[in-house]
Amino acid sequence: MDINEQAEAMLAQMLIMAKAQFGNAIKNSWFHASDTCPGCGRRVAVIKHKGKPALSLNGFIHRKPGVLIGYMLCSRCVKVVMEAGKKFPPTETPLHATIEMNLINAYEQRNG
């Protein structure tokens, strides 16, 4: 199983949890299978997390069509997002808005 297949399997689990939490507002999921980060355009690669190799699989709900979009980030964007998440309350950065805009555009280009 390659990385994209593994990510899609994990996204399926995320979809189950999203449907349990948000009900009929979530219709389906889509995986942004790209080698480039939707935050900055750098190459997505394995990162170190707690000393072990990992990938940053994330989810974003595109509300209008009710789609859970799965995506991966580069190591630099992972650090920005994780630091923002450590704050109380968690803060949304300009990077979050860029990621969401790029994912919505990619989704709409591929899915009409």
Q: Which domain holds residue 26?
A: 3-111
Total of domains in the chain: 1
Confidence of residue 90 (pLDDT cuts 50, 70, 90): confident
Helix (H, G, I), strand (E, B) or coil at 36: strand
DSSP run (H or E) holding 30:
strand 28-31
CA 57 to chain centre: 6
pTM of the model: 0.87
User: Is the pLDDT assigned to residue 103 strictly greater than 70?
Assistant: yes
What is the average pLDDT across 28-37?
A: 92
Q: pLDDT at position 107, please?
A: 96
C-alpha–C-alpha distance, residues 72 and 58, integer Å:
6
- The predicted pLDDT at position 89 comes to 80
Q: Sorting pLDDT into bands at 50, 70 and 90, what band is 68?
A: very high
> With contact defined as beta carbons under 8 Å apart, do 47 and 95 qualify?
no
